[in-house]
Structure 1
Amino acid sequence: MNSIVSPPLTVAKHEQGAEPIVRFRDLHRRFGDTPALDGVSLDIGKGEIVGLIGRSGAGKSTLIRCLNGLERVDSGEITIEGRRIDRLPERELQPLRRRIGMIFQHFNLLSAKTVIDNIALPLKIEGVAKPERRERARELLGLVGLSGRENAYPSELSGGQKQRVGIARALAARPALLLSDEATSALDPETTRSILALLKDINTRLGVTILLITHEMEVVRSIADRVAVIDAGRIVEEGPVWSVFANPQSDITTTMLASVRPQLPTEISARLKDEGDSVVLAIDTATSDAGKLLFDLQAQLGGRASLLHGGIERIQDRPVGRFFVSVPVDDLTTARQFLISHLARVEVLGHV
């Protein structure tokens, strides 16, 4: 009997500049009869951290390969810094690729080269003189917290240190866009947190735009400004991270959020039925008074609301709350009206 009432939560629209760093417009790409991209449109603004999230096979990798020019779209437009690239010949793509720094899941470091030579490699390919490229590499080693490890080899580094080298290498040519392709998937949780903190610091200090490709909502929640959810080659949802967490609009987003949002305890969900004296509600809120919403609901119902589970977290400096509450059947209409008037999203899960 799952019924949902979704009031028009205030969702801040992305403040776009005069020209996005990257613009995808109605991209289509098929492999045989299978659409890998099915009308993808998305803007990535200067200085943003945008999370592109989806399950395996959703279209993330194809989109990135099209952005790098490794795949060609069947139709649609891709622009980088205002220049359309989807029909450029390979020779003209090369300088544009240097505007994108890549961070890989498995680091992709050259085992026979030292840390400083790995970082300086993109500059060597560009023909930058050795003294200049080594100076730049040392500067980046300081930025990523690895000063003094210039002459170490990848085999002597931990996974987190290897990824820091990978980040430094990605920044060597001063790219406009940093592309993180599942960069933390091979790391333990503590190391993941340190790498995400580093990326956030780089974004803040250098103003580098970052596109995070991931299947982990925790990564998006930690540092992203906006999130776009891709499923079956389509962007099914997009918006500020706090608003998507507070009010997911698609089934796939709701499913992917299940691991990072409070869920009704199984011992309660197992007792839900179609009829009963009380109703169990799921309440989502992202207003400034989220912390006192339940107290006000209690007062409205004369103390007849019972908190079953839930809590509040801060996402992008906004309180985002998710609660599970039991109210008497006779109070359901009053409770709904009160919660909706306070811009909460309400779902009836069942009776107990």
Structure 2
Amino acid sequence: MNSIVPAAAIERQTSSDEASDDIVRLVDVYRRFGETAALDGISLRARRGEILGIIGRSGAGKSTLIRCLNGLEQCDSGEIHIEGRNIAGLSERELQPLRRRIGMIFQHFNLLSAKTVEENVALPLKIAGVAKTERLRRASELLELVGLSDKAKAYPSSLSGGQKQRVGIARALAARPALLLSDEATSALDPETTRSILALLKDINRKLGLTILLITHEMEVVRGIADRVAVIDAGRIVEEGPVWSIFAEPKSEVTTSLLSGIRPQLPEHIARRLSPSGGTEVIFSVDLAGPAAHGALFADLSAAFPHSFRLVHGGIDHIQNQPVARFFITVPTRDAGLPARVQQFLTARSARVEGLGYDTDHA
């Protein structure tokens, strides 16, 4: 029988590119189903110890991407490197040892109802031929990590959704993987339970230095724990970068749409009365992030243009310890050049300013 590889050995790279910090590297990956390009030239990397969020709408290519990453789907062309080894084109037999380096967390938990919690957690080790005493010791260790030591002898039917997902996380960690894939792992959970699961994943990432890929359609999940985010649409990565930067200045339409539920938006009763011309006030959105959001921007604006604007909506958030702000202001049009001067003033102070239209109904 095999035994679990010691943690110290797991941490040593065995691939030919030991100097690389990339646990995952995709190079120009294509996958087609008939005339549909599910993956259309994807290039992406996830570094050792980082949490990378991959977000997109339904049908964007997320499921195909994750199936290619764990070897369940073969790409048509391109390279998929896991810990430095290109898995594209490997046979099922060649993939087996590599799959042990990848843990999977599923949306609907995928627990075996006829097995106890500890048996579910130990199952990957049983399949790998690990001795019973060792796999039960590892299961106990992991159940303590996820806060379910008292549920070892329970069956999945007696657990809440959040507890089932904790069991799923423990099982995914059983073989000490280098990479953890989370496939919509919180979308079946209520908001409070989602926060607790995300906090657990962040804690595991911090304690174990584990690379985590979060496949999701929820920006709240990405904001909660990811270091970087890649936005996928129609099989392509349309933008990627640090989470705070993408939230502060989305460049693609799909990212803007995905963010609409959690970024301040112009109140609907104001948006309804906007006109492209002819109003008494012009309405601007003002986006700030990083150092630009720390300054006394509106105090400076008031000093430069007394009584020249109204703050009508907005707020400030902190993402990855960086302030990210969005505000909506109105500027009167009685002085035809005033809106342009205000916009220029704000832009010079690193704000991103967009004219949304004219308020036709402000007294």
> What TM-score results when the alignment is normalised by the length of structure 2?
0.91
Unaligned runs of 5+ in 2: 1-18
Partner SS for 2:151: coil
Amino acid aligned to 2:304: Q
Give the superposition deviation at 1:300.
2.1
- Aligned letter for 1:334? R
Q: Is 2:309 the partner of 1:302? A: no
**Residues 194-225 of structure 1: CA deviation (Å, up to 9, x unaligned):** 00000000001111110000000000011100
Equivalent in 324, 327, 339 of residue 323 of structure 1: 327
State the secondary structure of the residue aligned to 1:296. Answer: helix
Within 5 Å, which residues of 2 pair with 1:241-280?
A: 241-273=243-275, 274-280=277-283
Equivalent residue number for residue 3 of structure 1: none
Equivalent residue letter for 2:103: G
**Which structure exhibits the higher relative contact order, with contacts defined as CA atoms closer than 8 Å and separated by 6 or more residues?**
1
Matched residue, 1:282: 285
CA contact (8 A) 1:242 1:318 kept: yes
User: For residues 136-162 of structure 1, what are the alpha-carbon distances to aligned partners after superposition, in whole Å with 9 as ceiling and x for unaligned?
Assistant: 110101100111111000001000000
Paired residues of 1:275 and 1:350 also in contact (CA < 8 A)? no
- Tell me which amino acid in the other structure corresponds to 1:36: A
Q: Aligned partners of 1:45, 1:321: CA distance in 2, in Å? A: 28
Give the residue type in structure 2 aligned to 1:225.
Answer: D
- 1:102–1:178 CA contact under 8 A, matched in 2: yes
Report the CA distance between 1:88 and its aligned residue.
Answer: 1.1
> How far did 1:343 drift?
1.2
What SS class does the counterpart of residue 114 from structure 2 fall into? coil
Kept in 2, the 8 Å contact 1:287–1:343? The answer is no
Q: Partners of 1:158 and 1:249 in 2: how far apart?
A: 39
**Aligned pairs for 1:122-133 within 5 A:** 122-133=124-135
Give RMSD over aligned pairs: 1.0
| Other-structure match for 2:87 | 85
Alpha-carbon deviations, 1:92-120, whole Å to 9, x = none? 10010111100000000000000000000
The runs of 4+ residues in structure 1 deviating greater than 3 Å are: none
| Contact residue 99 and residue 174 of structure 1 kept, 8 A | yes
Residue 226 of structure 1 corresponds to 228
- Report the Cα distance in structure 1 between the residues aligned to 2:297 and 2:197, rounded to whole angstroms: 36
Cα offset, 1:289, TM superposition: 4.5
Listed one character per residue, the Cα deviations across residues 116-142 of structure 1 (whole Å, up to 9, x for unaligned) are 000000011111111111011101011
Residue 322 of structure 1 aligns with an amino acid whose one-letter code is R
Shift of 1:301: 1.4
Count of aligned positions: 336
Q: Is the 8 A contact 1:181 1:214 kept in 2?
A: yes
Secondary structure (helix, strand or coil) at the match of 1:288 reads helix
Pairing of 1:328-339 with structure 2 (within 5 A): 328-329=332-333, 330-339=337-346
Cα distance in structure 2, aligned partners of 1:180 and 1:161: 16
Q: Displacement, 1:328?
A: 2.3
Instruction: Tell me what 1:203 maps to.
Output: 205
State the structure with more CA Rg: 2
**Which amino acid in structure 1 is aligned with residue 339 of structure 2?**
L
Show the counterpart of 1:349: 356
Q: Is the 2:53–2:216 contact (alpha carbons within 8 Å) kept by the matching residues of 1?
A: yes
Give the percent of matched residue pairs that are identical in Structure 1 and Structure 2: 69
How far is 1:304 from its partner?
1.3
Amino acid at match of 1:333: A
Query: 2:292 touches 2:350 (CA, 8 Å); kept in 1?
Result: no
2:75 equivalent in structure 1: 73
Q: Deviations over 1:247-271 (max 9, x none)?
A: 0000000001000100000111111
The one-letter amino acid paired with 1:209 is: T
Structure 2 counterpart SS, 1:172 = coil
Name the CA distance, whole Å, in 1 between partners of 2:332 and 2:314: 19
SS at match of 2:182: strand
TM-score by length of 1: 0.94
Give 2:315's aligned residue: 311
Q: Do structure 1's residue 37 and structure 2's residue 57 form an aligned pair? A: no
Partner AA of 1:127 in structure 2: G
2:9 corresponding residue in structure 1: none
Structure 1 residue 287: deviation in Å?
Answer: 2.7
Q: Which amino acid letter does the alignment assign opposite residue 302 of structure 2?
A: Q
